[in-house]
Structure 1
Amino acid sequence: MRVHFIAIGGSAMHNLAIALRQKGYQVTGSDDTIFEPSKSRLDRYDLLPDAFGWFPEKITSDLDAIILGMHAKKDNPELLKAQELGVTIYSYPEFLYEQSKNKTRVVIGGSHGKTTITSMILHVLHYHDKDVDYMVGAQLEGFDTMVRLTEENDFMILEGDEYLSSPIDRRPKFHLYQPNIALVSGIAWDHINVFPTYENYVDQFRIFMNSIVNGGALVYNEEDAEVKQLAEAIEIPIRKFPYTTPVYNIEDGSTLLDTPEGEMPIEVFGAHNLSNLAGAKWVCQHMGVDEDDFYEAIASFKGASKRLEKIAENSTSVAYKDFAHSPSKVSATTKAVKEQYANKTVIACLELHTYSSLNAEFLKEYEGALNSADKAVVFYSPHAVKIKQLEEVSADQIESAFKRDDLIIYTNPDEFQTFLRQQDFTDTVLLLMSSGNYGGLDFDEVKSWF
């Protein structure tokens, strides 16, 4: 089968391209720019385009499929050529559904926690040598790619993103998977450029729950009021399995999970991650992993890449990097770190980097999000605001939104980095939360401070 990727360099797209090459497909692709690590990984599998740019001549009628990435525009020359020739065009999620329509599809949805929960499930299955197909949004220890596709595996685990499918398909990705088993971890308004009201955003999860196949299962976090209300209102013939945060204790900086066999030390921490673990346990049990085997495996789970990832540590101090950027994630992550390290000073640094977080109206959602930190810092780039064509955001607006009088705000990356270098990190936890890099922060230098 011959497949061509338009915008092959994306995190998800290049992993799917590699998975298809491993499956024996003939794969080509184009992109106008490709960053690391995608560039090196594509090169390793001989999938890196010879030149950057769009080349309509690559699109021929003998292609079996085009896979269109979100990075491409509606007027992309290769897309227009494909439409002209009548070549079959798939969005990323559409193609994944085609690859898994004869399998049992397990889809993990939610505004937060979906990458971690998907990663936990895969870790447990990998630990017990249970081979499954999958698509996850982070690189995992022990896994070569973020996507695996086979003919023979019975299950397909899919991280169910609520963002749009492609430039020509405005449906959320997770609406296309038709899960046999679905999980919803929580709902907190996000992607306001696509879902302008909270009600519109919530409705996407209602549609997702209603897309579960008849006789399927919905695992849901009943501690989230919105999720609970939606789940209980669903009337299609499915089974419902609510979960709550399990009992745990913290002793000497270690989290101990309460299990039927007694307290068990685990590598991850924070109430949000323990809640994620409870959801993952339900899903694994639906996939044939019993409770004892789940606990045995999950004890060694260290977290998904960029999710509370420990990047440095010495005898008195530690530094974490986290992908958290939405208000609910920032609040949960900051609380988790302070709870785990109650006797240390927590310096929490948040970069406002996404479209939503740089929106003056949405900023109000961040009220109290950094309150658990001993020292709270917000960095944002006025240049990023201009690039996203948003109204200018002022430091006063940010201070007012977070409702914290001692909030430290930086707009200059050099000044922010100077601030970090001047800190005494003795008995301190440094928490760096961003989906960006603070205007060029060198994380290797950060490691040298500990």
Structure 2
Amino acid sequence: MRVHFIAIGGSAMHNLAIALHLKGFTVSGSDDEIFNPSRSRLEKHNILPEEWGWFPEKIDTGLDAIILGMHARIDNPELLRAQELGLKIFSYPEYIYEQTKDKTRIVIGGSHGKTTTTSMVMHVLKDNNIDFDYMVGAQIEGFETMVRLTKEAKIAIFEGDEYLSSPIDRRPKFHLYHPHIALLTGIAWDHINVFPTFENYVEQFDIFTNLIQPNGSLIYFEEDEHIQKILSNRRKDVSYIPYNTHPFRLENNQTILTTDKDEFALEIFGEHNLQNLMGAYHICKSIGVKDLDFYKSIQNFSGAARRLQKLAESENCSVFQDFAHSPSKLKATTEAVKKQYQNRKLIACMELHTFSSLKKEFLPHYENTMCMADHAFVYFDPKTIEHKKLEPITSKQVAEAFGGSNLKVYTDSDLLISDLLSMNFNNTNVLLMSSGNFTGVNLPQLAQNIIVNTK
């Protein structure tokens, strides 16, 4: 098989390219720029484009498929050439389905927690020597790539993202997977540049549940009111499995799962993670993993990259990084760290970076999301707003939207870091939350500098 990637440098795209290369496909690709880690990883597998740019002459009738990334424009020269030749053009989720349509597909969807839940399932299955294909939205410890596609595996596990599939396919990605086993973690408005109303956003999850295969199952977080509304009309050919927060207790800043028969100490923490864990438990159980095997395996799960990831620690200070950017994620992550370390202060730093978070009309959704932090810093870069062609916002608008007397707003990342490093970190945790990097800040190095200041 010969496949060509238009915009091969994207996070999902380059991982799919590597997965197909490892499967034995002949892979080529183009992009106008490729940054690390994509660049070095493509180079390692000898599929890095020789030069940047778009080359329609690379597109010929000998190609079995074109895989189109979101980064490409609808007037991309290679795309236009492929359309002219009548070649098969796929978005990457569409092609992943194409490669797994004869497998049992498990899809984890929801506004939050889907990466972590998917990672938990992957960790447990690998630990129990169960073969599977997968696609997940973050780098997971013990897995070289974020995508794996094989001929042999009979199970495929996908993180079900609700964002659009490609420039010419405006369907949400998770509508293309047609799961046998589906999971919904919860619904909280996101991607408002694509789904302008909450009702429109919720509708995508309703459609997702109707795409479950006959005699399939839906595992869902029972306490989410929006999921409950979707499930008011249930299909007779689908099994519905609710879950809540797994029972636990805290001891010496560690979370311990409690079951009828035993207790299991965890590396992860936070009620949101314990809800994800319960969802993962039901998925694993549905494909034959025994309870004791699940609990033994989940004990040493350390989390996905940038999901409450511990960057550095000393005896009385820990620095965490998290992808949190939406209001629900921000609130859950802040509360998780504060409740886990009740005898420590918490400094929470958050960057408004996504389209939704920087939109003036959306800011009120952040009210009281960081109220449990002792000190809350919110940063945004006016240049990012300009780049996204949004209406400017002010520090005052952000402060009023978040509320609370513990909050300080910054538009200068150097000043934010300077003020942060001037603080006393003894008996204090620091939480760095962003889908970006606070305009070029080396977060692992910042974490080390914070720890040095505690000594």
Tell me if both proteins adopt one fold, taking TM over 0.5 as the criterion. Answer: yes
Following the alignment from structure 1 to structure 2, what is the Cα–Cα distance between the partners of residues 406 and 153? 51
* 2:373/2:406 contact within 8 Å kept: no
| CA–CA distance in structure 1, aligned partners of residues 435 and 140 of structure 2 | 18
Residues 47-88 of structure 1 deviation map (CA, whole Å, 9 limit, x = unaligned): 110011111111111100000000001001110010011111
- Name the TM-score, length of structure 1 as normaliser: 0.99
Inter-partner Cα distance in structure 2 for 1:425 and 1:232 = 49
Q: How far apart are the structure 2 equivalents of 1:344 and 1:12? A: 38
Deviation, 1:232, is: 3.8
Kept in 1: contact 2:371–2:406 (CA 8 A): no
**Which residue does the alignment assign to 2:118?**
118
What letter matches 1:361 in structure 2?
E
Q: Would you say 1:146 and 2:150 are equivalent positions?
A: no
Distance 1:79 1:402 in 2: 43
The answer to whether the 8 A contact 2:374-2:406 is kept is no
Deviation at residue 290 of structure 1 after TM alignment? 1.2
Comparing 234-243 and 310-319, the one that deviates more: 234-243
Q: Secondary structure at the match of 2:53?
A: coil
Corresponding residue number in structure 2 for 1:63: 63
Contact 1:117–1:280, Cα closer than 8 Å, also in 2: yes
Please show how residues 371-390 of structure 1 align to structure 2 within 5 Å. 371-390=371-390
Instruction: Map residues 34-433 of structure 1 onto 2, 5 A cutoff.
Output: 34-433=34-433
Residues 200-220 of structure 1: CA deviation (Å, up to 9, x unaligned)? 000000000000011000000
> Distance in 1 between the 2:169 and 2:321 partners?
33
Partner SS for 1:193: coil
Find the residue that maps to 2:231 and give its secondary structure: helix
Q: Secondary structure at the match of 1:449?
A: helix
CA separation in 1, counterparts of 2:263 and 2:18? 41
Give the residue type in structure 2 aligned to 1:275.
Q
In structure 2, the gaps of 5 or more residues are none
> In the aligned structure 1, how far is the partner of 2:228 from the partner of 2:51?
50
Query: 161-170 vs 401-410, which deviates more?
Result: 401-410
- Work out whether residues 352 and 434 of structure 1, in 8 Å CA contact, stay in contact via their aligned partners in 2: yes
Post-superposition CA distance 1:87-106 (Å, at most 9, x none): 11000111011001100000
Tell me the CA shift for residue 262 of structure 1: 2.5
**2:447 aligned with 1:446, yes or no?**
yes
Shift of residue 236, structure 1, vs aligned partner: 4.7
Q: Is the 8 A contact 2:264 2:296 kept in 1?
A: no
Once residues 447 and 440 of structure 2 are traced to their aligned partners in structure 1, the CA distance between those partners, rounded to angstroms, is 12
The DSSP-based 3-state class of the residue aligned with 1:277 is: helix
- Higher mean displacement: 283-292 or 192-201: 283-292
Q: Quote the offset at 1:420 in angstroms.
A: 1.7
Partners in 1 of 2:146 and 2:259 — Cα distance? 31
Q: Deviations over 1:18-52 (max 9, x none)?
A: 00000000000011111110110000000110011
- Residue pair 1:257, 1:263 contacting (<8 A) in 2 also: yes
Distance 2:297 2:376 in 1: 36
Distance across 1 between alignment mates of 2:108 and 2:285: 15
Structure 1 residue identity aligned to 2:440: G
Q: CA deviation at 1:230?
A: 1.3
| Aligned-partner Cα distance in 1 for 2:442–2:96 | 36
Partner AA of 1:358 in structure 2: L
Do the aligned residues in 2 keep the contact of 1:209 with 1:234 (CA within 8 Å)? no
State whether residues 267 and 300 of structure 2, in contact with CA within 8 Å, keep that contact through their aligned partners in structure 1.
Answer: yes
**Cα shift at 1:151:** 1.1
TM-score, reference length from structure 2:
0.98
- Distance of 1:234 and 1:226 partners within structure 2: 14
Counterpart-to-counterpart distance in 1, 2:380 and 2:59: 41
Q: Show structure 1 runs of 5+ residues with no match.
A: none
The answer (yes or no) to whether the contact 1:214–1:236 under 8 Å persists in 2 is: no
CA deviation vs aligned residue, 1:303-347 (integer Å, no higher than 9, x gap): 011100000000110000000101000000000000001111100
Residues 306 and 322, structure 1, Cα contact 8 Å, conserved in 2: yes
RMSD across aligned positions (CA): 0.8
Runs of 4+ in 1 over 3 A off after TM superposition: none
Does the aligned pair in 2 maintain the 1:10–1:71 contact within 8 Å?
yes
Q: CA deviation at 1:446?
A: 2.5
User: Offset of 1:268 from its aligned partner?
Assistant: 0.7
The separation in 2 between residues aligned to 1:418 and 1:288, in whole angstroms, is: 52
Report the equivalent of 2:15: 15
Does structure 2 conserve the Cα–Cα contact (< 8 Å) formed by 1:210 and 1:236?
A: no
Cα deviation code 1:106-131 (max 9, x no counterpart) = 00000000000000000000101111
Identity %: 56
Q: Distance in 1 between matches of 2:355 and 2:32?
A: 22
Residue 348 of structure 1: how far off its partner (Å): 0.4
State the alpha-carbon separation in 2 of the partners of residues 447 and 218 from structure 1.
43
Deviations 1:208-247 (A, max 9, x none): 0000011000000001111122124232510000000011
Q: Counterparts of 1:290 and 1:386 in 2: how far apart (Å)?
A: 53
Contact persistence 2:245–2:274 (CA under 8 A): yes
